[in-house]
Structure 1
Amino acid sequence: MSHDSEAVTHWVLTLSCPDRPGIVAAVAGLLADHGGNITESQQFGDELSGLFFMRVQVTAAASREVLEGALGELAGRFDMDWSLDVAGRPVRTLVMGSTAAHCLNDLAFRQRSENLPIDIVAVVSNHTALEPLAQFYGIPFHHVPVTSTTKAAAEARLLELVAELDVELVVLARYMQILSDDLCRELAGRVINIHHSFLPSFKGARPYAQAHDRGVKLIGATAHYVTGDLDEGPIIEQDVERVDHTRGVEDLVALGQDVERRALARAVRWHAEHRVLLDGRRTIVFR
């Protein structure tokens, strides 16, 4: 049977490897050999790390097994890390929050109305304040209290849910608990946090009060991957809003919530669309 008569799938391929001549030609040639038509291609060579990064969208009739087999052979030649997925497939996502609802509400609304390519399969919270919102969107809600004595059990329950629900991405949507180093390692590259300040400034508690005290002219928010180093994981996206001396702390909080929503939504979308590749402590974002 010819490729023309087979079902065509729109794939997204991402890869990173040590930079050397011939990578793009080899990838393009492999895809062409399997009837692929490249619809989008972006690449970047990082002189600092010596790594090459590439994201390709391609339509092809070849099966996943055939493409993965060929890519596995190519990866051996170039020492590649790579992934292949169906373009636009909703990523199974678990959202964690505490009491603030704006980020959860925004993600759930964008999933429903703006084709944000995620499937929120659960909301987990250490409080019950978000349960009505989760119910409104028809998302299962799990109350997992966290205290100094129950933290280990709470994280074990989280990992159970990740496994049971086949979760691919965890989003900390103003979840006001610090994840343990062990949990960060277990879910490395799969947890996105929104920090309500423009990192690295004003880390920790009450960042808007800190910002007001310093008389800042810009407030911002930072979406980043979570690591064991508090609020220092690889940054995916940042956004800012200009303010002046007339703004009080409550004004900064209200403005900041909108900035948080925007930055988090973009970071989640780019991750779900496989546009974010890790480069040590930094990220490569193909927008």
Structure 2
Amino acid sequence: MSQAYILTLSCPDRLGLVHAVSGFLLEHGANIEEAAQYNDHATGLFFMRVQFACGEHDTATLRARLQEFGQPLQMELKLHERDAPMRTVIMVSREGHCLNDLLFRVKSGLLPIQVAAIISNHRDFYQLAASYNIPFHHVPVTAATKAQAEARQYEIIQAEGAELVVLARYMQVLSDDLCKKLAGRAINIHHSFLPSFKGAKPYYQAHDRGVKLIGATAHYVTADLDEGPIIEQDVARADHTDTVEDLTARGRDTESLVLARAVKWHSEHRVLPNGHKTVVFR
């Protein structure tokens, strides 16, 4: 029986890297099913994602041999079992459009993730979680209890073995400490009016200024608020006939779509970090 894998890597660019990787896989009885690569001339880095099937070795042995292969080439390598759903914890506050969309996509087999738990600072969506048979954790957050709340949230994330944390309109700013603990495995979604329209009621502000485009941004969480590496963005047009309610509804749809794409690409190991940016093999 062949095991399907996904290999992702990055390293300083040089001649023969594609040949070296494909040659290594051939030597180990692997059949390449999908491959993509990118040379960033600005940074001198090479990025690659390869999906392949291999029946000769167990995962631990193959991973060890890949590390030996990549070390002289200064490769940062990651090997994933393709069919293993990514264990995920979703965090949400009182706006449930992204949460509802993600749960439906998972149930429909459209997202390769396993939602292990939902964490919220409100109780609004405990019934929605129960309808999908997903554990719901109510962790209230105040200025006075923020440290204790985040400690509890991280405890849940670790206990569930979460590889991914999705902030599906979780309206609390994470501390620098929690951002560092979740580095590279936490995705946030927000409207794309920043930095023009900050604070409360951004769609009201946008409507007041007569914007013609509304959008959404999904990015990795970092200690720099809403400035992490961008994974996906999209826009929708607006015109003078749109009400605030029209803009808000269209914005929610765009947020849901953009977040779903970002989660899908991350869970399929299509997103590779590139400094303050990302390489996305769609």
Q: Normalization by structure 2: what TM-score?
A: 0.97
Q: Say yes or no: does 1:278 pair with 2:273.
A: yes
Residue-by-residue CA offset, 1:43-87 (whole Å, 9 max, x unaligned): 001111211110000011122122112111122111111111111
Percent identical pairs in the alignment equals: 60
CA contact (8 A) 1:198 1:238 kept: no
Aligned equivalents of 1:208 and 1:43: distance in 2?
39
Tell me the CA shift for residue 196 of structure 1: 2.1
Q: Say yes or no: does 1:72 pair with 2:77.
A: no
Q: Say yes or no: does 1:11 pair with 2:5.
A: yes
Moved more, 102-111 or 208-217: 208-217
CA contact (8 A) 2:214 2:238 kept: yes
Unmatched 5+ stretches in structure 2: none
Q: Say yes or no: does 1:218 pair with 2:213.
A: yes
SS of the aligned residue for 2:134 comes to coil
Residue 254 to residue 19, structure 1, CA distance change in 2 (3 Å): same
Aligned equivalents of 1:265 and 1:79: distance in 2?
33
Aligned equivalents of 2:278 and 2:261: distance in 1?
14
CA RMSD in angstroms comes to: 1.2
Tell me the CA shift for residue 115 of structure 1: 3.1
Aligned equivalents of 1:202 and 1:188: distance in 2?
27
Structure 2 residue corresponding to 1:30, chosen from 2, 12, 24: 24
Residue-by-residue CA offset, 1:234-278 (whole Å, 9 max, x unaligned): 110111111101112111111111101100000000000000001
Residues 206-285 of structure 1 correspond to what in structure 2 (within 5 A)?
206-285=201-280
CA contact (8 A) 2:193 2:202 kept: no
Tell me the CA shift for residue 210 of structure 1: 2.4
Tell me the CA shift for residue 159 of structure 1: 1.1
CA contact (8 A) 1:98 1:127 kept: yes
Q: Normalization by structure 1: what TM-score?
A: 0.95
Tell me the CA shift for residue 282 of structure 1: 0.5
Unmatched 5+ stretches in structure 1: 1-6
Tell me the CA shift for residue 213 of structure 1: 2.2
Residue 137 to residue 270, structure 1, CA distance change in 2 (3 Å): same
Alignment correspondent of 1:138? 133
Alignment correspondent of 1:166? 161
Aligned equivalents of 1:197 and 1:243: distance in 2?
14
CA contact (8 A) 1:16 1:54 kept: yes
